[in-house]
Amino acid sequence: MRQQGDFLQVLQDQGYGIDKLFASAKGHGVPNQTEITSGTTVFAMKYADGVLVAGDRRATAGNVVMYDRTDKVLEIDRFSVMAIAGVPATAFEMARVLEHSFKYYRRSQLQDLSFEGKLRALSTLLKNNAPAALAGTGTVVPVFAGYDQLEECGKIFFYDILGAEFEAVEYAVSGSGSTTIRGILYYMNRWGTGPVADMNEEEALAFVLRLMTSAAEFDSATGGVDAQAQLYPIVKRISVEGVRTISADRLKTLFSEKVLT
């Protein structure tokens, strides 16, 4: 039995061709219904002082750039971050639900929700979103990173669209540029001068900018760095001190000194 709430499926069952409904928009820069707005490349990696979580700024719909200043690295509470790849509307709503849930728990219980509890909360949201994800209208494949106060260490987890969670030992990537970034990270950890997890903060941030630049070179949906427009990836640092956003000025300096040279 079909999902009663699937409006697009109801139209198709009634004989309406969805592509035909949007045919008049073709050729006018308007994407058709199969080209849903999507966020692209995000990743998290461990380094000497904690965890860095980064995301490019581009949101696309098919081959159309819908927006180039998207924030895909969302601070959920003072010790956790969710990086989103997929449909921004669904992902942003998940982030809002998590933020309010964690805040309510902290105020009602006078303590932070456990790290395990945070993971379960995101998994539940993804499971509840499964019908939309399988229909292709609400796919979200997030990376969740945070500082576990009980075990006193930074952790990274990634999920599939049905809510299954997997802990990443050193890094996790998601989105259209993930293949390039994953390949570079594997190479660096296997044959590089040393594990990425041993880098200090300046080295790790410069490496993040190089990774995003490399992804943008081979994936048109990844925004990369646009120094002329002053557009740099969103990068957040997670440590025992909590979540901190790396300023655009610092990224600009590192990009000029460590990437362009």
Distance CA 236, CA 218 (A): 24
CB contact set of 185 (below 8 Å; sequence gap of 6+)? 45, 170, 171, 173, 196, 211
Single-letter code of the amino acid located at 242: G
Angle of helix 178-191 relative to helix 201-218, nearest 10 degrees, comes to 140
Helix (H, G, I), strand (E, B) or coil at 104: helix
- Amino acid, single-letter form, for residue 50: G
Residues in Cβ contact with 63 at an 8 Å cutoff, skipping those fewer than 6 apart: 35, 220
At residue 196, what are phi and psi to the nearest 5 degrees? -60, -35
Q: How far does the chain reach from its first CA to its final CA, in angstroms?
A: 60
Ranges of beta strands (E only) in 48-102 are: 50-55, 59-61, 64-67, 73-77, 80-83
Q: How many residues does the chain have?
A: 261
Residue 180 annotated to the active site: no
Q: Which candidate in 40, 41, 70, 90 is catalytic?
A: 40
Which three-class secondary structure state does DSSP give residue 260?
Answer: coil
The single-letter DSSP state of residue 198 is: G
- Give 228's contacts (C-beta < 8 A, 6+ positions apart): none
Give catalytic residue positions.
40
